[in-house]
């Protein structure tokens, strides 16, 4: 069971890592005037997903762990809105949006599954 749990967490962490690198990759092409706006906020929210997950997973007390995982989930929701915003503003191609939103949905489902169990 413990090995199964570790495999699940590794898979989720890998997906989060892929997501944050994806966000960083396509925000490099955002308009220069968005550097301190959308670009910065998008990168921070995507990075917050994995950083809060890692910190929460390292905590022993379930209530503390749950708090960090909820922050991670909230940051994911924020970054998903920024995906939509960036698509509407034509900062993102439809293909990049589709890839990122699919990955975000997978992460969200996995993270929500953990939160439900806590």
* pLDDT recorded at residue 99: 97
* pLDDT recorded at residue 118: 87
Q: Would you write out the chain's pLDDT as a tens digit for each of its 118 residues? A: 567 778 999 999 999 999 999 999 999 999 999 999 999 999 999 999 999 999 998 999 999 999 999 999 999 999 999 999 999 999 999 999 999 999 999 999 999 999 999 8
Total tally of structural domains belonging to the chain:
1
Residue ranges of alpha helices (H) inside the chain are 2-27, 40-58, 62-88, 94-117
Nearest-angstrom CA–CA distance, 100 and 49: 14
* pLDDT recorded at residue 79: 98
**Could you list the residue range(s) of the whole structural domain that residue 73 is in?**
2-117
CATH number of the domain at 33, please.
1.20.1440.60
* pLDDT recorded at residue 5: 73
* pLDDT recorded at residue 68: 97
* pLDDT recorded at residue 109: 98
**Per the confidence metrics, is the pTM higher than 0.75?**
yes
């Amino acid at each position: 069971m413990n090995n199964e749990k570790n495999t699940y967490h590794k898979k989720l962490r890998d997906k989060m890592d892929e997501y944050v690198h994806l966000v960083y990759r396509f925000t490099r092409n955002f308009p220069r005037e968005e550097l301190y706006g959308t670009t910065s906020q998008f990168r921070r929210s995507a990075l917050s997903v994995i950083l809060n997950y890692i910190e929460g997973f390292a905590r022993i007390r379930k209530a503390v762990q749950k708090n960090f995982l909820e922050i991670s989930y909230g940051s994911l929701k924020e970054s998903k809105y920024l995906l939509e915003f960036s698509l509407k503003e034509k900062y993102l191609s439809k293909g990049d949006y589709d890839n990122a939103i699919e990955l975000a949905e997978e992460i969200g489902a996995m993270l929500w599954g953990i939160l439900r169990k806590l």
